[in-house]
């Protein structure tokens, strides 16, 4: 194990899993055309919101008969809007293998008070998605941001399902292929893969989801920001840029900037290729380094965006859980102090480890430059631990 400080530093040390790094070359000057001081309901405001929807459809390959809406409160708002508006008409299956999926389970069981079937797996594993009854409504994440475990594809989802599939795809959209024919609701936020600003979510609805909205009224009251129908009909304006509440036109311009950049690098294929290149840089290091391993146990389920790794050095594994967590955090703190990696500590509820964002806004050269620093920081912290003992 090398203890020498590496000579090359990442140009951009921002490897946070959200908000994520801005696109390469981003500056505030690129947002000069933002409709600031203008109503979002003005012609220019509505045109920019509609353009954001249209570019989202084109890059992600969303079917023409699916609706796309910009909604409040980031991905959380989009998921909550879907669950509160759609669930309760059929039995519900809640699927969770990391913290955000577990949060949706809590909301459905404790807030909506539905008698849901819970299908869960520990961090690092994916539940058996083929064993789920897709005649129930099914809520799940596509990419577990805090576990690094993702759906490898949509093959397990029944094509002839009677229930709706509600998919939180916030760290998957723009980095992984989403099979929209298998997904009735898809949500994400701008601040993940495209590095946009926070507080805005995107809600995508299939025709089957729209039919549910127009034929079913939940038993509970819906706050205004959750209401997608009026008089039993979908509020179509939401899906044409007429947002429920006032959006930040600066954030909208920033999203358009990111979408334009995505188009310039080849759209979805280009974004996936960049994420895959970053994940490959991590993989080369993991395969060659004995003290580190993936949290995701099965290679086919390993994320190419939120890559979660754990420390498997025998001396560290011999420590109790709090000490292991403290050791992992000390690595992250040391790298932040050196200015080479910011915000890479594992999620607070996840097993002790590190979480590296590998989405398309990260340059592969930066990811490659970071890897020797992980080795250096580990050796420094292990030496400090030995001295303290």
Whether the Cβ atoms of residue 278 and residue 367 lie closer than 8 Å to each other: yes
Q: Is the dihedral of CA 40, 43, 46, 48 positive or negative?
A: negative
Domain boundary residue among 226, 247, 263?
263
Are 118 and 147 contained in the same domain? Answer: yes
DSSP 8-state class, residue 342: B
Structure tokens at 234: 């979908």
Do 241 and 278 lie in one domain? The reply is no
For residues 287 and 244, state if they share a domain: no
Write down the pLDDT at residue 3: 73
Asked whether residue 10 is assigned to any structural domain, the reply reads no
Do 227 and 118 reside in the same domain of the chain? yes
pTM attached to this predicted model: 0.97
- Same domain for 119 and 60? yes
Place of tokens 């509505």: 46
Contact 82, 141 (CB under 8 A): no
Final residue belonging to a domain, choices 263, 284, 309: 263
Q: Which domain holds residue 241?
A: 28-263
- Which tokens is 385 given? 């631990």
Q: What is the pLDDT of residues 37-67, one digit of tens each?
A: 999 999 999 999 999 999 999 999 999 999 9
Q: Note the pLDDT of residue 1.
A: 44
CATH of the domain at 170: 3.40.640.10
Mean pLDDT for 85-98 is 98
Rounded to whole angstroms, how far apart are CA atoms 40 and 299?
45
Coil/strand/helix, residue 26: coil
Q: What is the pLDDT of residues 269-322, one digit of tens each?
A: 999 999 999 999 999 999 999 999 999 999 999 999 999 999 999 999 999 999
Q: How many folded domains does the chain comprise? A: 2
**Domain for residue 18, yes or no?**
no
Are 242 and 281 contained in the same domain?
no
Boundary of a domain, candidates 244, 263, 282: 263
**What is the pLDDT confidence band of residue 349, given thresholds at 50, 70 and 90?**
confident
């Amino acid at each position: 194990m090398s203890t020498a400080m590496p000579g090359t530093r990442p140009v951009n040390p921002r490897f946070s899993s959200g908000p994520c790094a801005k696109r390469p070359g981003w500056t505030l000057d690129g947002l000069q055309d933002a409709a600031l001081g203008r109503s979002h309901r003005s012609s220019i405001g509505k045109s920019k919101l509609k353009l954001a929807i249209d570019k989202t459809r084109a890059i992600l390959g969303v079917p023409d008969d699916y609706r796309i809406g910009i909604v409040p409160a980031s991905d959380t708002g989009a998921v909550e809007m879907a669950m509160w508006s759609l669930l309760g008409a059929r039995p519900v299956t809640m699927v969770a293998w990391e913290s955000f999926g577990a949060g949706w389970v809590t909301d459905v069981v404790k807030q909506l008070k539905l008698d849901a079937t819970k299908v869960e797996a520990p961090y690092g594993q994916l539940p058996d998605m083929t064993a789920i009854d897709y005649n129930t409504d099914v809520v799940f994440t596509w990419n577990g941001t805090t576990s690094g475990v993702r759906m490898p594809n949509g093959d397990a989802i029944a094509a002839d399902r009677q229930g709706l599939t509600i998919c939180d795809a916030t760290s998957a959209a723009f980095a992984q292929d989403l099979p929209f024919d298998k997904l009735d609701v898809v949500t994400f936020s701008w601040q993940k893969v495209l590095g946009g600003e926070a507080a805005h979510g995107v809600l995508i609805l299939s025709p089957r989801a729209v039919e549910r909205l127009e034929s079913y009224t939940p038993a509970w009251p819906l706050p205004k920001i959750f209401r997608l129908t009026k008089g039993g009909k979908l509020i179509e304006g939401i899906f044409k840029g007429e947002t429920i509440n006032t959006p930040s036109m600066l954030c909208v311009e920033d999203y358009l900037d990111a979408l334009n950049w995505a188009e310039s690098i080849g759209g979805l294929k280009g974004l996936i290729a960049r994420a895959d290149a970053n994940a490959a840089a991590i993989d080369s290091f993991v395969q060659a380094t004995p003290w580190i391993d993936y949290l995701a146990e099965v290679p086919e389920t390993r994320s190419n965006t939120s890559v979660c790794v754990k420390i498997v050095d025998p001396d560290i594994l011999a420590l109790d859980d709090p000490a292991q967590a403290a050791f992992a955090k000390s690595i992250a703190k040391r790298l932040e102090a050196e200015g080479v990696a910011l915000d890479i500590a594992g999620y607070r509820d996840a097993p002790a480890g590190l979480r590296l964002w590998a989405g398309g806004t990260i340059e592969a050269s930066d990811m490659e430059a970071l890897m020797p620093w992980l080795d250096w920081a580990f050796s420094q912290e292990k030496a400090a631990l030995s001295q303290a003992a």
